[in-house]
Amino acid sequence: MIRSLTPALALLVATAALAADPPKPATPASVLERAPAGDWAPVPLDHLMVMELAGGGRVAILLAPEFAPGHVGNIEAMAKAHWYDGLWIDRVQDGYVTQWGDPDDKKPLPPGAVEKLPAEYERPVAGLAFKALPYRDTFAPQVGLVGPWPVARDGATAWLTHCYGMVGVGRSNSPDNGNGMELYTIIAQPARQLDRNITVVGRVLWGMEHLTALPRGQGAMGFYDAKVKMLPIVRVTMANELPASDRPHLEMLRSDSASFDAWVHIKANRKDDFYVRPAGAIDLCSALPPVREIK
Amino acid sequence: MIRSLTPALALLVATAALAADPPKPATPASVLERAPAGDWAPVPLDHLMVMELAGGGRVAILLAPEFAPGHVGNIEAMAKAHWYDGLWIDRVQDGYVTQWGDPDDKKPLPPGAVEKLPAEYERPVAGLAFKALPYRDTFAPQVGLVGPWPVARDGATAWLTHCYGMVGVGRSNSPDNGNGMELYTIIAQPARQLDRNITVVGRVLWGMEHLTALPRGQGAMGFYDAKVKMLPIVRVTMANELPASDRPHLEMLRSDSASFDAWVHIKANRKDDFYVRPAGAIDLCSALPPVREIK
């Protein structure tokens, strides 16, 4: 942990130093800076959802129809119908989740969305370009990336994992009543015990701090104990329905690129000045493809 | 993820139902409720540090002299001299750390504290009652608990791990200039790549939300870009120097107790109504001994 900003800036400057200086070991940041443009891919707008919060926070969530087509279809129908507008962030449980939607669980769904959907906890590996990480995982025989997604697999079955920023569909005790009326994201350590118990539908790509830096709910399990304490959702829109000037312009490092491989390798084997002992490994949730905003 | 509070309360009620009902599977919460008093241990006051923040937040941090005697001694000397009083939380980087201390890095240390300390990144396993967790870890051959602490080991060497809420000592690029002038805690997923690269000194046992629900710093690496944006530290005190009425009264589940074993086992193998597929494993950072406040 850098003790203050000054040495950190010195390090950043050193990393960008002239070729005449002795070469500095690569850092995750320097790998990203040097990545060719083609190793970044624009985040597609058709499955990108934008949530605008009271106070001006904007959150961009990429949805995963490859893993949860039914739930993603439902959520997109709800977003297109502006079903989420005027609802709330109703739960912030420290160390666990931020959740939003209809706290009363009774707002009627719009045409095109249904109350009950079969669980989409896992899918066949077949048809997926699975790129394995070469490190042990506590929960699954193998983990890796499928396009932008952190994925665990077990033989022929694959599933999305509960990493920081991943978004899932709240449900009650019945596995088939998650429909998108309540969504949540992981705001602390991964909650991998939820994997294959909940339908995971996406990842917060931008604006995560608007969901983490919130007062914690004082009710049971971090629910807010009064509606007046909840942060209102102004509007949820699919990005491609926003005016062009209002759309997020995000790029994500392609997980099938050489730069991604280098970035993962350097994260697992830090040799820049600060580090005295490279970890020799990286966990799946620390290997989510980096995202940048194009201004 | 529970969709709303109502079914969750129903579940809590069901868990406490009369013996005449069919028995409900245990939950982590029910294991804690049933734990005999002797499986809980009072958190000792002599190495408990209390940080009071502007706005009324109180944070209790247990220090680990078993792992970092030099740094803990320094920090305790600084706390006893009220060195931290009037300083700031100067960095909140989303997804990573909250950091506090002297952003200018120049406040003179009090008598009994020194500027440079040898790194305390690891120690011999000998002399530690190491209790292994029976699950794979991505970073170390074996992980487990030593008293209240999450520990990784590699043969004869053991070290504290960067889990959510663990506290470390900021340093610059030189391994021997961490002294406690800047401390940080992990506010998101574990940062295990820092293990054995930084001296870890303790864990936030209470009041973590006062360090997580803060505006993120807008400067490089989440440092606040102006002092006026930093949250002031009113006072940092060792708990046993506080008036008795003002001391935190905390208990922690003993990691050498049968209740702890049951709690870990149930967390790794949830069979209560919500879960359809137990994970079959738990990661070290999800197995930090639970803490409760005695009112």
pLDDT tens for B247-259 read 999 999 999 999 9
Q: What is the pLDDT of residue A9?
A: 37
Which of B98, B104, B138, B229 is best to mutate for the A interface (most A CBs within 10 A)? B138
> How distant is the Cα of A257 from the closest Cα of chain B, in angstroms?
23
Give the pLDDT of residue B20: 62
User: B1, B199, B201, B266: best mutation site toward chain A, by most A Cβ within 10 Å?
Assistant: B1
Yes or no: say if B218 and B68 are a contact pair by the CB < 8 Å rule: no
Residue A87 pLDDT exceeds 60: yes
Distance (Å, whole) CA B282 – CA B289: 13
Summarised one tens digit per residue, pLDDT across range A121-177 is 999 999 999 999 999 999 999 999 999 999 999 999 999 999 999 999 999 888 888
What residues of A are in contact with residue B210 (Cβ under 8 Å)?
A: none
pLDDT at A135: 97
Q: Give the span between the Cα atoms of A20 and A12, in whole angstroms.
A: 17
Residues of B in Cβ contact (< 8 Å) with A2: 170-172, 221
Report the residue of chain B nearest A185, measured CA to CA: B1
In the predicted structure, residue A6 carries a pLDDT above the cut 90 = no
Tell me which residue in A184, A187, A219 faces B1 most closely, judged by beta carbons: A184
Share of chain A above pLDDT 90, in %: 88
In this prediction, residue A295 carries a pLDDT of 87
List of domains in chain B: 22-41+252-289 (no CATH), 45-240 (2.40.100.10)
A8 pLDDT exceeds 70?
no
ipTM: 0.93
Judged by CB atoms closer than 8 Å, whether chains meet at B213 and A214 is answered as yes
Mean pLDDT over all residues of chain A? 93
**Strands laid side by side in the B40-42 sheet:** B40-42, B250-253, B291-293
| A270 in reach of chain B (CB within 8 A) | yes
Answer whether B161 touches A (CB < 8 Å). Answer: no
The closest CB to that of B136, out of A8, A136, A178, belongs to: A136
What chain A residue is nearest to B269 in terms of C-alpha separation? A193
- Indicate the pLDDT class of residue A24, thresholds 50, 70 and 90: confident
Q: What pLDDT score does A17 carry?
A: 42
What pLDDT sits at residue A175?
85
Give the model's pLDDT for residue A14. Answer: 38
Closest residue in B to A280 (Cα–Cα)? B139
Q: Establish if B212 touches chain A: CB-CB under 8 angstroms.
A: yes
Amino acid identity, position A246:
D
Which pLDDT band, with edges at 50, 70 and 90, does A66 fall under? very high
Separation between Cα atoms, residue B114 and residue B179, nearest integer Å? 7
Distance CA A271, CA A19 (A): 19
Q: Look at residue B175 in the predicted model and tell me its pLDDT.
A: 85
B130 and B141 Cβ atoms separated by less than 8 Å: no
Whether the predicted pLDDT of A277 surpasses 60: yes
Which residues in chain B touch residue A220, judged by CB atoms under 8 angstroms apart? 5, 8-9, 12
pLDDT at B2: 66
Residue A18 has pLDDT above 70, yes or no: no
Q: How far is the C-alpha of B191 from the C-alpha of A274, rounded, in Å?
A: 15
Spatial contact of B259 and B39, defined as CB atoms under 8 Å apart:
yes
3-class DSSP state of A184 = strand
| Predicted local confidence at residue B22, as pLDDT | 72
Position B176 scores a pLDDT of 83
The answer to whether the CB of B280 falls within 8 A of the CB of B269 is yes
Find the residue in B nearest to A169 (Cα).
B1
How far is B203 from B244, CA to CA, in rounded Å?
22
Name the pLDDT band for A23 (thresholds 50, 70, 90).
confident
What residues in B contact A215, CB-CB < 8 Å? 213
Residues of chain B positioned with their CB less than 8 A from the CB of A12 = 220
Contact check, Cβ <8 Å, A212/B209: no
CB contact under 8 A, B5 and A221: yes
Could you say which residues of chain B have pLDDT below 50?
5-18
What integer pLDDT is reported at residue A2 of this predicted model? 67
SS3 of residue B273 by DSSP: coil
Looking at chain A, list the stretches that DSSP marks H as alpha helix, in order from N- to C-terminal side. 5-15, 28-34, 69-80, 209-212, 258-268
Residue A11: is its pLDDT beyond 60?
no
Q: Is B282 on the interface with A (CB under 8 A)?
A: yes
Q: Which of B169, B172, B285 has the CB atom closest to A189's CB atom?
A: B285
Chain B: residue whose CA lies nearest to A276: B197
Which pLDDT value is given to residue A4?
A: 59
Alpha helices in B150-292 (DSSP H): 209-212, 258-268
Given a cut of 70, whether residue A213 has pLDDT beyond it is yes
Q: Is B189 part of the contact surface with chain A (CB cutoff 8 Å)?
A: yes
Q: Decide if A3 touches B, using CB distance below 8 A.
A: yes
Look at residue A264 in the predicted model and tell me its pLDDT. 98
Residue type (1 letter), B264? V
Residues A214, B293: Cα–Cα separation, whole Å: 23
Q: How many CB pairs under 8 A join A and B?
A: 211
